[in-house]
Amino acid sequence: MKIFTVLLCLIPYAGVLGFLQVQWLRCRLTDEYVWTNAEGHVETNNSYRDAVLQFDNSGNSAMLSDSITFLVAASKVDMRKFVEGPVDRLQCDIHRYSKGISRVRWPSLGGTAHDIWFTCTLRHTAGLYNITSFLRVTPATTMSAHQPDFFSWLTIGVEEKISASAVMVLMTRSPSVRVGLQKETTLHCQFAVDHKVPHLTVEWHLQRHGGRRTKLFSYSSSSEPPDVSLTTKEEQIPSVVCEANGFYPLDVEIDLFKETSSGQRPEKLGNVLHSSHLQHHDGTHSLAAFVRLRPSPQDSGCAIYSCRVSHVSLQGLYIHKSITGPGCWTWFHLTLPGLVCLVLMIIFIAVTRRRFFNKTVRRR
């Protein structure tokens, strides 16, 4: 999907080296045993176990046969592409992931409603970044439709080999931030999924102690496209202004074109100036592009100006607007009421002149 073209950045050179060298990593598995006690309350017992994350085809054997091994098959999403710097600075943690009672199927190839999920997080020991990958495991048994999935989790043996596929990866370069009172900071989020997503929603939440959660910001790929307007300003130096308002994310392209005669291909203008980006309280942005119509043979006479705006929310389409320039003083400026008024005025003048001529003839 187009949005990922914007969100994913180029992989640094160190990341490429890490991708080529990392074949397996030692990890800590946080295993959970969930049960219902005699009073009907759900209880959880965590245990920490040694495990290996092995990047290979699911059919290959484990490199360390005496350990729990997660065999991650090749897919479109590979967390190693996001690794930067030496791999000995990485801390690997694997956790079970619960969907609760939800039985929604992951939409990529091979997904089922009863898949078992794990998350694997790589943390840079110097706090430079965190990378979390969601691992989908096809279970050997089905889960109950009326109970949360954690009651049917697979028991993991001492030398268990678990075949998984990575379907989504999240990265942040700001895993921990410090900011002063009434100061601003930047929170980084980068992600990729293994399939094309027609509509996507990204939300930022603030999690406070005690479980209270507040939504800070929400972005949907199916909303917040730019609202485009194209106007002329009659100033000392006339100008044509194209404005894009209320769009997100920040990147937008605005082009201005000029057509001086009917049937001529519009010419893309190169002397276009841009205003600074304006950020609104809801997180959206505005940008204006304008061209000054200085007195010259190129800017004189009648011309049609058009504006083309492209943005990721438009899914590969454009927004077009067209107006006539301030030099058009002929029919281009006539609206329908104005045209009717002009015709009536011509008829009135013609009738008046005819009556005056007839009176003059009778007097003679």
Q: What is the DSSP string of 141-202?
A: S---TTS-GGGGPPPPPTT-EEEEEEEEEEEES-SS----TT-------EEEESS--SS-EE
The average pLDDT across 73-82 equals 88
Mean pLDDT of the chain: 80
| 80 and 162 housed in the same domain | yes
Any domain includes 90: yes
| 259 and 156 housed in the same domain | no
Any domain includes 322: yes
Judge contact between 277 and 285, C-beta under 8 A: yes
Q: What pLDDT is stored for residue 353 in this prediction?
A: 72
Residue 79's closest CA among 132, 125, 127, 129? 132
* Both tokens assigned to 25: 């990593």
The DSSP bridge pattern shows strands 24-36 and 90-97 to be parallel
Structural element, H or E, at residue 4: helix 2-7
| 193 and 237 housed in the same domain | no
> pLDDT digits over 99-138, tens only?
888 878 888 877 777 888 999 999 999 999 999 999 998 7
Q: Lowest mean pLDDT: which of 18-32, 77-91, 109-123?
A: 18-32
Any domain includes 301: yes
Any domain includes 210: no
| 98 and 173 housed in the same domain | yes
Q: What pLDDT is stored for residue 177 in this prediction?
A: 86
| 37 and 163 housed in the same domain | yes
> pLDDT digits over 188-203, tens only?
888 889 888 777 788 8
Percent of the chain with pLDDT over 90: 26
| 150 and 240 housed in the same domain | no
The DSSP bridge pattern shows strands 213-220 and 253-259 to be unpaired
Domain coverage including residue 317: 227-333
Residue 313's CATH number: 2.60.40.10
| 167 and 232 housed in the same domain | no
| 10 and 108 housed in the same domain | yes
Q: How many independent structural domains does the chain possess?
A: 2
> pLDDT digits over 244-254, tens only?
998 887 889 99
